[in-house]
A and B are shown apart, each in its own frame.
Chain A
Amino acid sequence: MFELQEGHRMIETAMRQFLEKEVVPLIDDLEEGKVLPYDIMRKMAETFGLTEMIKARFQKMLKKEGKKSEEEESEAGAFGGPGFDPLIGTIIGKEIARVYPSLGLAMGATLGLAGGTIMAKGTPAQKERWGLPILTFEKIGAWGMTEPESGSDAFALKTTAKPDGDYYILNGQKTFCTNAPYADIFVIYAKIDRGQEAKRDKRFIFPFVVERGTPGLSVSEPFKKMGMKGSPTGAVYLDDVRVHKSHLLGETEESARDQAKDVFAGERTGAPAMAWGIIERCLEVTVKYATERKQWDRPIGEFQLIQEKIARMYVHLENVRNIAFKHAWAQKEGKKITMKEACAAKLYCARAATECALEAIQALGGYGYMKEYRVEMLMRDAKLLQIGGGTDEIQILNIAKELLRAEGLEVKLGG
């Protein structure tokens, strides 16, 4: 349970070879926005047979909606246990983050957030129409939740969907939306605007699918960011965007509505894998450097202040790995991860990744500050983990809220 099986190691090896060859030479161009990450994702999917696998599973799933087929279980069982193996996704995410976290973020946003929401909420027809093209990377998805005036307080979002016969009319604006500048399919969260009854719907937000090219939908240029530069981020503008009710995921308002706790779960799941990759890489670079770099005729690894950094990074690596293993185990066993567990994991992984990347830069000194070793990039990228998908502060508030609630104290965020 707490180690990679042979099949996992094969995936790890194959992914690493692919990424070293296909992505590493492109990093500078990706960082400058001269190359977009989407063709790399497509090539990756093609190379590793993901497209055919997803298509085959999809057809099976559509036939037996909701039921796991036995064949699928025995196939995945090759990894040392029966059933679907969530660790595969973790390993792929980890390997990507070692080399270029931006690619993982852009992939996570289309596949996990946009694709995942459609697959979780959509009707079979919606899954086929929008889910499948996203899962096979034929189309790129974006997931729009955050607005200029609502971030952590996501349910204060102002985007509205006004019913109009068989249609909804969407108005509003989304920001910090990964893939927005280039996406084909947008999952946009909105509140239903019913005029008088508006109060009743306040607790709920609803996901709509809007395709690129729909009149009234426009996107911004890619934003300039501190890190994650290879993952295009932008704003989405909705100006009287008229979509048929079949664009409401689930098609009925009853099944479409989302509550706060459902929404961020998906955004958090990528954090352990990404932190694992960043930390593993930083530790490797630091250890290697510490054995090669000499001062006063001694490798700097002989200095205890460097040893302390190495040891700390290793402790973080162990913890983050164990968190990733635990999440994969829970997902496989169908066990629920509580809100506070998920928040604690995300908080720890995000902080650990940033800390390790900073320590790696420090251990490498001037060389760490230069782009060559990429640890400065990993530090800028790691920092996003502390902000996106719920800030560190929100994770802390959620943890405390749940612990206090168990003792009968109900804490309300924002008073």
Chain B
Amino acid sequence: MKILVTVKRVPDPDMKVRVNAEGTGIVEDNMKFVINPFDEIAVEEGLRIKEKKGEGEVVIVAIGPSVVQEQIRAALAMGADRGIHVDVDSYPDPLNTAKLLKAVAEKEAPNIVIMGKQAVDDDYGQAGQMLAAMLGWAQATFAYKVEIADDNSKATVTREVDGGLETIEIDLPAVVTADLRLNEPRYASLPGIMKAKTKPMDVFKPADLGVELSPVLELVRMEEPPPRKGGIIVETVDELLDKLRNEAKVI
């Protein structure tokens, strides 16, 4: 069983993010970066599948500048077997991400690709679906539970849908995206961390994978949400109506 798991480097969601003065991105000084939390769940699921099967390989792939190797090693420290770093200067848009991942998936020929359902930095939530479509594979998004058939031919995936759960069966190979409640990721153990640096990591440029990046999306501007103002207590219904009509202009 070969399991390909994608990880993205994102700012620590527990830290305060500030937009830079030019509005072109965030201030990265003193920022801590982590594996996208949904991707961490994907790594955990990959490891659990391998452990349950008693055999297999968990391969981590990340796209971005050389610093993303830190996130690959963090996944290796959790127990994954080897890493693939697709070396590009900046983080591509979802379509180009999917193109690069398609090339990696074709090269690696995994039984399953597991991804986070979205990255918490840009919140697109598109790459998994696009990848499955490009590969012509089945997809099961927002996974809540994943079970692999004994012969690795099928997977039964329970998905989180509006107001309930939906269980589907898909043929493998397939792309599965992890939702929040799929599992609770393990902590990297000390021996795991020590071994992480000695595990193999391949580095490819897009050209090595036969991919030419063609951006389809341009970041025009980033801005911070307006600061929250404190609430007020109105005296009468008339005053409320007046404020809604004339200040908030919502009615």
Residues on A facing B (Cβ under 8 Å): 6-7, 10-11, 13-14, 17-18, 47-50, 52-53, 75-76, 78-79, 88
Contact = CB atoms under 8 A, between A and B. Distances in A.
Interface in B33-57: 34
B197 A78 contact: yes
Interface stretch (B114-122, B144-152, B187-195): B187-195
B191 A11 contact: no
24 contacts: A6-B70, A7-B193, A7-B194, A7-B197, A10-B73, A10-B77, A10-B193, A11-B190, A11-B193, A13-B34, A14-B187, A18-B187, A47-B186, A49-B192, A50-B190, A52-B191, A75-B194, A75-B195, A76-B194, A78-B194, A78-B195, A78-B196, A79-B194, A88-B190
A49 B197 contact: no
Nearest to A10: B193
B74 interface: yes
A78 B195 CA distance: 7
Contacts of A11: 190, 193
A180 B37 CA distance: 42
A48 B78 CA distance: 10
A7 B187 contact: no
A6 B73 contact: yes
Nearest to B194: A78
Contact of A53 (B74, B186, B187, B191): B191
B70 A78 contact: no
Interface residues of B, number: 18
A49 B34 contact: no
B198 interface: yes
A47 B198 contact: no
A49 B190 contact: yes
Given A7-B197, A78-B196, A78-B197, A14 B188 contact: yes
A7 B70 CA distance: 9
A47 B187 contact: yes
A13 to B, nearest CB: 7
Nearest to A8: B193
Contact of A78 (B34, B186, B189, B198): B198
A11 B188 CA distance: 8
Given A10-B74, A10-B77, A13-B34, A48 B198 contact: no
Given A14-B193, A88-B190, 6 more contacts: A10-B73, A10-B74, A18-B187, A47-B189, A48-B190, A75-B195
Interface in B165-193: 186-193
B96 to A, nearest CB: 28
